[in-house]
Amino acid sequence: MNPFKQHTGIAVPLDRVNVDTDSIIPKQFLRKIDRAGFGKHLFHEWRYLDYEGTKENQKFVLNQERFRKATVLLARDNFGCGSSREHAPWAIADYGFKVIIAPSFADIFYNNCFKNEILPVVLTSKEVDELFNEVLAKSGAQISADLEGQKVKGPTGKEYSFKIDDFGKECLLKGLDTIGWTEQFLNKIKSYEETDKTRRPWLYSVK
Amino acid sequence: MSKTMYEKIWDQHGIHEDKSGMSVIYVDRHLIHEVTSPQAFEGLRVTKRGVRRAQNTFATMDHNVSTRSKDIEKTELTSRIQMDTLSKNAKEFGITLYDFKDPNQGIVHVIGPELGITQPGMVIVCGDSHTSTHGAFGALAFGIGTSEVEHVLATQTLQQKKARTMLINVEGKLGFGVTAKDIILYIIGKIGTAGGTGYVLEYAGSAIRDLSMEGRMTICNMSIEAGARAGLIAPDEKTFAYIKGRPYSPKGADWDKAVQYWKTLPTDVGAKFDKIIEIKAEDIDPQVTWGTSPGQVTGIDGKVPDPEHFSDSVERLGARNALQYMDLKPGTPMNEIKVDKVFIGSCTNGRIEDLRVAADIVKGKKVTKTVVAIVVPGSAHVREQAETEGLHKIFIEAGFEWRFAGCSMCLGMNDDQLSKGERCASTSNRNFEGRQGPGGRTHLMSPQMAAAAAIAGQIVDVRKILK
């Protein structure tokens, strides 16, 4: 994974609450065995007028010319709820988004972001409202996110601090191989299993 | 010190905790299926890692299997590739697989308990959000992403932060015609689809204790729909009776040791929860969703709400979008909404008890001519049991299609889908836009209510039929 330190880019406001991972990447695109190429199906039902995805829905915000190059996604409450499919962050990252800002995220999706070089930023509803207004007010409006300093800068230059879990921050900053991180505790895992065998022997007699 | 059940299971599985509170916890059982595992195995190959304890992982095919035929040639090509890939991966890494033709095949959250893989006190994970189902046995069970699937395969552990705890106490007796599904839909309606975010829920109280294991699974299954990763119910004699004698359940002296251990798991008297919700079972009517989020729900006597009447701006925005998508007008009585399709099945309501109660409703009656109704058993064993009891005949005679086991129209990854604009009475768990098929409209309800809707051709109060 590549490290994530900071990012500045055009922001697109997605004015919907409870955006579920079915909407982020519909089921017909999950029948793949690799991680690549999900971006073109991102928000498929909203982005396209036809099932095949050949006719763009011009009303959908991502298709509006001023937001086409957006790399920061402004979202509403409970973003990423529902299915645990990691195809959702794969699609978001593959489309080109680096940062998602919302008042709240669903738990599994939030965790999945850290594994996919996406920075999920939680701000208050009021702050997100402000950013929505600022982004809508001026074409090409950009938002900056600085992970190290845990700050977001809006189009008018106003700064917002955000909290982030230390471990997740470290993972993004270093582009950490999380499996490699856990492997340093292999001896602890082995000794756990040895102790557990005497405590719950029935779990270890499975063929 | 008094501990909650969650804290006990958590403490027993801790391997390491760093200063930020990130923990490495041991995973007892790992379930995998064809859709969220291929990239995890590929990751192992790329990094030259193996599967640490292959015997702790069990695989099945459920999400995109055909429920019409066991002939894989009839399955759509990309689905077939995913299933073939799972077969190859299971073989290469030595993992037990119940493939689409296996007599033990079925929805991963139905077969886990059915085979005795699911047991109290375990940590169980799966690349599927409805893994919360297994919490009905007092197991800490939750859905994970594919990167985490790879992590579990490689290390038999997971990185996880400790959650907060919420007790949901449902006291009293359920009313006539009210089921486990109605309890959980009612709870989600109360606390909201994000009400459980960051929490592990524990369901307790007399109404929960009175439920069968099937009912308890229905409740825990939809914990994720309240935003919670996991739901728990204390194991008791019903739990032990369900587990006993199943293929993977402990045998002989092990059984006694296991039961002794399981009895130590329930929350201690005096243990503190971060939040407590009290619900009276008597307040719950049969529930039906009107929107595109499981929290957009009302009793069967209710009406489609007016979005402008919601004081909360998040709810208002959600309701506006939902009504537009669902093509419903504020004030429409729920029991006047016509349906085109009926789906009985899924990891929420595809178990034998669900089929029994649905069959009871439709016995000797006919599905309305304009309605297409399907019954999809949750597993091959559920299907077999239903056939032994003659339930399939009741369904077929009433005009239902009788299918093979799979996830089917809960998420429409196979060819069981809603067409654009079609409205469905569904026993599944998600009414999201397009969930059951692009442009399809879903109303979630209990198996009884869905069965009644098939007969009436519209959403109807099952209590009037049961009278």
Beta bridge partners of A119: A99
Percent of chain A's residues with pLDDT above 90: 98
Give the count of beta carbons closer than 10 Å to the beta carbon of residue B224: 31
Instruction: Give the angle subtended at the CA of B224 by the CAs of B223 and B226, to the nearest 5°.
Output: 70
Q: What is the pTM of this model?
A: 0.97
Count chain A–chain B contacts defined by CB atoms under 8 A: 194
Integer Cα distance of B440 and B435 in angstroms: 7
pLDDT in the model for residue B466 = 84
Q: Is A129 on the interface with B (CB under 8 A)?
A: no
Contact B403, B375 (CB under 8 A): yes
Structure tokens at A166: 């230390």
Residue recorded with tokens 């471990």: A167
Beta B287-289 vs B297-299: how paired, if at all?
Answer: antiparallel
B22 and A192: CB-CB below 8 Å? no
End-to-end CA distance of chain A: 37
Q: How confident is residue A80, by pLDDT bands cut at 50, 70 and 90?
A: very high
Contact A11, A143 (CB under 8 A): yes
pLDDT in the model for residue B306 = 98
Structure tokens at B169: 């106490």
Integer Cα distance of B149 and B56 in angstroms: 13
Q: Which helix (H) or strand (E) holds B108?
A: helix B108-114
pLDDT in the model for residue B467 = 72
pLDDT in the model for residue A93 = 98
State the SS3 of A138-194.
Answer: CCCCEEEEECCCCEEECCCCCEEECCCCHHHHHHHHHCCCHHHHHHCCHHHHHHHHH
pLDDT in the model for residue A206 = 62
Integer Cα distance of B430 and B134 in angstroms: 18
A27 and B412: CB-CB below 8 Å? yes
B155 CA to centre of own chain = 27
A115 and B433: CB-CB below 8 Å? no
Size of chain B in residues: 467
Q: Is A28 on the interface with B (CB under 8 A)?
A: yes
Integer Cα distance of B58 and A87 in angstroms: 22
- Where b means 16+ CB within 10 Å and e means fewer, B449-460 reads bbbbbbbbbbbb
Q: Which domains does chain A have, with CATH numbers?
A: 6-176 (3.20.19.10)
Integer Cα distance of B122 and A74 in angstroms: 39
Q: Is A183 on the interface with B (CB under 8 A)?
A: yes
Task: Tell whether the model's pLDDT for residue A205 goes beyond 90.
Answer: no
pLDDT in the model for residue B196 = 97
Contact B334, B425 (CB under 8 A): no
Tell me the C-alpha to C-alpha distance, in Å, between residue B383 and each of B107, B346, B375: 12, 13, 10
Nearest neighbour of A178 by CB, restricted to B15, B129, B159: B159
B193 and A15: CB-CB below 8 Å? no
pLDDT in the model for residue A1 = 86
Q: What is the ipTM of this complex?
A: 0.96
Integer Cα distance of A70 and A62 in angstroms: 8
Integer Cα distance of A7 and B98 in angstroms: 46
B38 and A202: CB-CB below 8 Å? no
Residue in chain A lying closest to B130 (CA): A83
Integer Cα distance of A17 and B216 in angstroms: 30
Task: Tell whether the model's pLDDT for residue A163 goes beyond 90.
Answer: yes
pLDDT in the model for residue B176 = 95
Mean pLDDT of A140-152: 98
Contact B233, B216 (CB under 8 A): yes
A86 and B146: CB-CB below 8 Å? yes
Structure tokens at B302: 């209710």
Integer Cα distance of A57 and A73 in angstroms: 18
A86 and B143: CB-CB below 8 Å? no
> Which mean pLDDT values do the consecutive 10-residue runs of chain B (467 residues) have?
97 96 97 98 97 97 95 88 97 97 97 98 98 98 98 98 98 97 98 96 98 98 97 98 98 96 98 98 98 98 98 94 98 98 98 98 97 98 98 98 97 95 98 97 98 98 90
Residue recorded with tokens 């330190």: A5
Q: Residues with Cβ < 8 Å from B434, sequence gap 6 or more?
A: A22, A23, A26, A45, B440
Mean pLDDT of A57-63: 97
Amino acid at B272: K
Q: Which of A60, A107, A129, A184 should be substituted to probe chain B, the one whose Cβ sees the most B Cβ atoms within 10 Å?
A: A107
Q: Which helix (H) or strand (E) holds B110?
A: helix B108-114
Residue recorded with tokens 């809960």: B410
Min distance B194 CA to chain A CA atoms (Å): 6
pLDDT in the model for residue A74 = 98
Task: Tell whether the model's pLDDT for residue A207 goes beyond 60.
Answer: no
